[in-house]
Amino acid sequence: MFVHLRLHTEFSVVDGTNRIDEVAKAAAKDGQPALAITDLGNLFGAIKFYKEARGKGVKPVLGAEVFVEPEEPGNPPSRMILLVQGKQGYLNLSELLARAWTRNVVKNQPLCTWAWLEELGEGLIALAGAQAGPVGQAIVKGDDAGAARLALRLAGLFPHRFYLEIQRAGRPDDEAHVVSAVQLAARLNLPVVATHPVQFATADDYEAHEARVCISEGEILGNQRRVRKFTREQYFKSSAQMEALFADVPSAIANTLEIAKRCNLTLVLGKPQLPDFPTPGGMPIDEYFRVASLAGLEERLAHLYPKEAERDKERPRYLERLEFEINTILKMGFPGYFLIVGDFIQWAKNNGCPVGPGRGSGAGSLVAYALKITDLDPLQYNLLFERFLNPERVSMPDFDIDFCQSNRDRVIDYVKDKYGKDAVSQIATFGTMAAKAAIRDVGRVMDMSYTFCDGISKLVPGKPGMSYTLQYPPNPKKEGDKNNYALELEPLLAERVQKEEDVKTIIEMAQKLEGMTRNIGMHAGGVLIAPGKLTDFCPLYQQPGSDSAVSQYDKDDVEAIGLVKFDFLGLATLTILEIAKEFIVKRHKGQENFTFENIPLDDARTYQLFSDGKTEAVFQFESRGMQGMLKEARPSRLEDLIALNALYRPGPMDLIPSFVNRKHGKEVVEYPHPLVEKVLSETYGIMVYQEQVMQTAQVLGGYSLGGADMLRRAMGKKKAEEMAEHREIFRAGAAKQNISQEKADEVFDLMEKFAGYGFNKSHAAAYSLLAYQTGWLKVHYTAEFFCANMTVEMDDTDKLKVLFEDAMKKFGLTFEPPDVNRGMYRFEPVTDKVVRYGLGAIKGTGQQAIEAIIAARDGRGAGPRGDTKGPFTSLFDFCVRVDRTRLNKRTLEALIKAGAFDAMNMNRASLVASIDRAFDFANATLANANQGGLFDMMGEDAHGSSTQEPELVEMVPWGVKERLTQEKTAVGFYLSGHLFDEVASEVRRFVRTQIEELLDSRETQILAGIISDFRVINGQRGRLALFKLDDKSATIEASADENVVNAHRDMLKDDEFVVMSGRLQLDHFSGGLRVKVQQVWDLAAARAKFGRYLQVAIGDTAPDVQRLVREFPPRRQETEQGEVLVHGLRVRMGIRCKAGQGQAVAELQLGEGSRFFPSDAALAAWSAQAGTGSVNVVYDAG
């Protein structure tokens, strides 16, 4: 009998393709009594392995292959296996790995020191590491004395727990090492153990494993110079194979069993272990929890019901609910959890870190509301505690808490200070190879072309929110199989796999790697607070280059070992509200104590904003589809926003028309049964929320709310046997209320349908409250709203542009341009209708540079004029006063292009050309000052310099197009004007539809605008151009196929004006429209296409028509059918002549020979020839 004591799983990350469930199954099938996991430098997969092995009847042995620091600096590190014997060994291995990752990473390798091995060796069995270990390295070098010395040293560190390790894995030096190691063991009286370095499950997986190694190393499989570290023999071998392999050293096989017997770790899983919460005066925690909850409720009631009589009337129902929740929480043993969460939330609120009103089902708890964890009264909105914490199903409560994004880390630091830095960490996440990525990765290491691999990967469906697998669909499919099989859903992919050998090869390799751990990340918000040192529960990992440690276990595994996860999530909306609040308090008298918690929730103007769909940048309601829904629904209360928020998602979205019609009396409100009218009345008889499913089960089926939550969960799982049991329970409960079985089944089916996509009302309510607050802000403090949003979105120029246009067009705001003499880093409200552009939004600046500019304005600058206060007087004065260690030429150029120096000099071209001269002048001024004014003849300058400012470099000012194009490079969009302005008056005479007016239509549309973000990609059917078209009213995404791109290559580029025809398509990703381009014209070609004629009013001289036609002839195009098309404009001449006391006007239509191509130059020539007359292109009316 043999036990594998060396195994790399997919969690070794850099190598290893063993999936834990597969190797546990293989060990069980082979009758191996135990199995070890020894991933490289980590225990990432330890808990999954522990549970899986025990589930298969195999004894799990936890361990790791650790890197050991070399004795002599400059030598390479060695590697050993450490196996856990029991609890102490687990604690010591966790500590060792944590120290290595957080204190001693060298070249991405976490090194254990010899001192740490001495200190933390208890409870660990050490295997020497074969050729890669300290002893093995000496043996390979032929250093027998060194090998003996190291072996004895390790035997001393791990008394009676050290084994020399031998392997026969098909490597050239294996046999020599085995002979030497066995002889050394006999000489030193040390035991030997046979291991097999298992890297993959079966011999057929060798190529996939090599591909994984190449993916990690950035190598190519076929590279002949690549170092091949692994052999085909390193698969999971059976006991019989291993016994045969080491038949000459039977003790090495026997010792695998001996070691497995000595490893007896038992982990207690599923038992929550909370840190101790310090209570005042040492009061028992249960008592303090009750006292704090009751006191908090009284504070809330005083705010909800200021009148004492009303408060006394309402108090009993609140106390009844509170008592039920308190007793439930105490019974389940979670008072400490609530107090811990309440404590750090209260700290955040008291220390300038905004907290969201609630998130997830936690908003349904009255205790949470009383302890100020949430800010939404659950009784007012009929939210259920049992949806959060079910008395009939013991599981940890889980509050998701939203914090202001920019202050979230301060709250985490507070928690570290309170409970100890070694007791708090964030949580690891394991990034895996998704289907598309696996194809690209495999294709790259197989040295296939990017275009080819990208084309295959794009055949894998990519619907947002869905995941797809490359695996072949099973036949027949199992009940409840929710996998989306790409080969089933995309026939072209399946066809290419069948017909093309290269495609088949890449897909089959990707199938083996799909879903494997690719990288280690950090959970977005999960924070662990342990009741002591974290390494007493799990090891820690620290990404090289990072200063934040995370658990080596993911969120599921940390919960399994009893650690409690607290979700600290960053929400930009809270940052926006906090910035806006600062502006309100600063700018508006009487608002020193302003808080969003105190705004009225029945403000008519706010609901009108929602009803008008003017919800750009309003939390949760900003998408185009949402805006359209709001216009139809016309919400008039918070409950409407809650329902619409819950309905606007796949599945329930189909119910929106009925909801809207019922709200506005266009459809009869019907209920599944009269008894549930109270439950469903606020949503007009429609089941929208999961809580309504639970309440229906309670009212009609006699369920407790805890039982109803169990029913809701069962309905979500759709297990037929379980559902049949619940149907009988529901029928029985309904029968007690004289409800027929037929009606009971009808309601049960309805509940089952809605349970599948019904939304959590507590979450919808909390987030809709936040949405209402942002909407209220937009209505009542519009300038502050836009300043806060644009400050937060500084790095997203697309979003900035949308906000800029929304502010100006729909809310009448104006923007002061960027100005180094007035601007701040953030966007700032100047008046209710004027916003000062934030200098931090200019590309290439950064906060340090802007702070240096502001400091110099305030007299806190650098250099000889650093103490000068007030505005800068010139580019040269600016460069002398601003600390140039924080300002470079690139930043200065961006500021000039953005117009931030226009107040001093409007010639941006001259300013840009003078940057070097300005920096030279500043350097000279500083040098002169440092010499005590040595070069000043007169010495009259108090600042130590009398250097005269040079002149700016003379340059021709940029034209409108150049100015705006350069401005766009600095700002991200046109700020002081728009390129479309130059042509708008003419273009709108023949392109009458603005982009913002577009509706979903199958008809061909004619659009005009400026191109931006132009790029060409490789699509499934050739090269595809993607770009945005901007006509100042709005922007639309556009695409053009290869034929269109080739035909109009000169026109299709950034900042060019074009007219185009195309078909509209619905963009399923954004919910908006996009246009598939069919034809493109520049302005001249568009005049020829859409113009009727050129109207020429002749002045004092007649134009030379023949010459003009000769110089600007029409363009001729031959079609594929041989037909010649003439692209030109006819001419009509208006002739005025004196007739007696008046004038006579005659209009002459010139013949076909007068057609010409109406370029700007041609029109200018016609205009010049017309003398005192005029020329005008006439377009069709309409």
DSSP 190-248: --EEE---B-BSSGGGHHHHHHHHHHHHT--TT-TTS-----TT-B---HHHHHHHTTT
Residue 416 reports pLDDT greater than 90: yes
pLDDT at 130: 96
Residue 1177 reports pLDDT greater than 50: yes
pLDDT in tens, 746-766: 999 999 888 877 899 999 999
Average pLDDT over the chain, rounded to whole?
91
DSSP 719-757: -HHHHHHHHHHHHHHHHTTT--HHHHHHHHHHHHHHHHH
Between β-strands 1004-1019 and 1022-1030, what pairing exists: parallel, antiparallel or unpaired? antiparallel
pLDDT at 237: 98
Question: At 61, which amino acid appears?
Answer: V
Q: Choose the weakest-confidence range: 152-156, 609-613, 620-624.
A: 620-624
Q: Which residue has better confidence, 564 or 1017?
A: 564
Q: Is 328 in contact with 368 (CB distance < 8 Å)? A: no
**Residue 883's pLDDT band (boundaries 50, 70, 90)?**
very high
Highest mean pLDDT among 632-646, 720-734, 927-941, 1059-1073: 632-646
Residue 849 reports pLDDT greater than 70: yes
Residue 1143 reports pLDDT greater than 80: no
User: Two tokens at 666?
Assistant: 């266009």
pLDDT in tens, 569-594: 999 999 999 999 999 999 999 999 99
Percent of the chain with pLDDT over 70: 95
Q: Choose the weakest-confidence range: 187-191, 198-202, 340-344, 544-548.
A: 544-548
Residue 786 reports pLDDT greater than 60: yes
Residue 695 reports pLDDT greater than 60: yes
pLDDT at 1022: 75
pLDDT in tens, 380-411: 999 999 999 988 877 888 899 999 998 999 99
Q: Choose the weakest-confidence range: 288-302, 402-416, 870-884, 1012-1026.
A: 1012-1026
Distance between CA atoms of residues 1085 and 1157, nearest Å? 8
pLDDT at 1142: 56
> Looking at residues 176-196, what average pLDDT do you find?
97
| Residue whose pair of structure tokens reads 């069980």 in the numeric block | 28
pLDDT in tens, 88-108: 999 999 999 999 999 999 999
Percent of the chain with pLDDT over 90: 74
Distance between CA atoms of residues 856 and 869, nearest Å? 7
List the beta bridge partners of residue 517: 432
> Looking at residues 833-851, what average pLDDT do you find?
95
Residue 948 reports pLDDT greater than 80: yes
> Looking at residues 666-674, what average pLDDT do you find?
95
List the beta bridge partners of residue 835: 815, 829
Q: Is 605 in contact with 732 (CB distance < 8 Å)? A: no
Q: Choose the weakest-confidence range: 203-217, 872-886, 1140-1154.
A: 1140-1154
What separation, in Å, do the N-terminal and C-terminal C-alpha atoms of the chain show? Answer: 91
pLDDT at 421: 92
**Residue 1027's pLDDT band (boundaries 50, 70, 90)?**
very high
Residue 977 reports pLDDT greater than 70: yes
* Prediction pTM value: 0.85
pLDDT in tens, 38-86: 999 999 999 999 999 999 999 999 999 999 999 988 899 999 999 999 9
Helix residue spans in 758-781 (DSSP H) = 761-780
Q: Which residue has better confidence, 8 or 978?
A: 8
pLDDT at 1118: 61
Distance between CA atoms of residues 925 and 929, nearest Å? 6
| Residue whose pair of structure tokens reads 């199958």 in the numeric block | 1002
> Looking at residues 868-888, what average pLDDT do you find?
93
pLDDT in tens, 473-488: 888 888 777 889 999 8
Query: Under 8 Å CB-to-CB from 577, ≥6 apart: which residues?
Result: 354, 596, 773, 774, 777, 788
DSSP 874-928: SHHHHHHHS-TTS--HHHHHHHHHTTTTTTT-S-HHHHHHTHHHHHHHHHHHHHH
pLDDT in tens, 347-375: 999 999 999 999 999 999 999 999 999 99
> Looking at residues 896-900, what average pLDDT do you find?
96
Q: Is 1148 in contact with 1166 (CB distance < 8 Å)? A: no
Going by C-alpha positions, the residue among 939, 918, 915, 916 that lies closest to residue 929 is 939
Give CATH superfamily name and number for 981-1081. Answer: Nucleic acid-binding proteins (2.40.50.140)
Residue 824 reports pLDDT greater than 60: yes
Residue 1069 reports pLDDT greater than 60: no
| Residue whose pair of structure tokens reads 């969009």 in the numeric block | 973
CATH topology of domain 10-262: TIM Barrel (3.20.20)
Residue 941 reports pLDDT greater than 60: no
pLDDT at 1167: 82
The H or E element that residue 528 is part of is strand 517-529
List the beta bridge partners of residue 1017: 1024
pLDDT in tens, 1151-1170: 777 788 888 888 888 888 77
3-state helix, strand, coil in the chain (%, to 5): 45, 15, 35
Complete edge-to-edge strand list for the sheet that includes strand 1142-1149: 1142-1149, 1130-1139, 1091-1097, 1174-1179
CATH code for the structural domain at 434-515: 1.10.10.1600
Residue 857 reports pLDDT greater than 70: yes
DSSP 552-565: SS-HHHHHHTTPPE
Domains 10-262 and 981-1081 share a fold: no
The residues spanned by each domain of the chain are 10-262, 277-354+362-391, 434-515, 653-758, 842-961, 981-1081, 1087-1179
Q: Choose the weakest-confidence range: 450-454, 879-883, 996-1000, 1039-1043.
A: 996-1000
Q: What angle do CA 1061, 1066, 1067 make, to 5 degrees?
A: 105
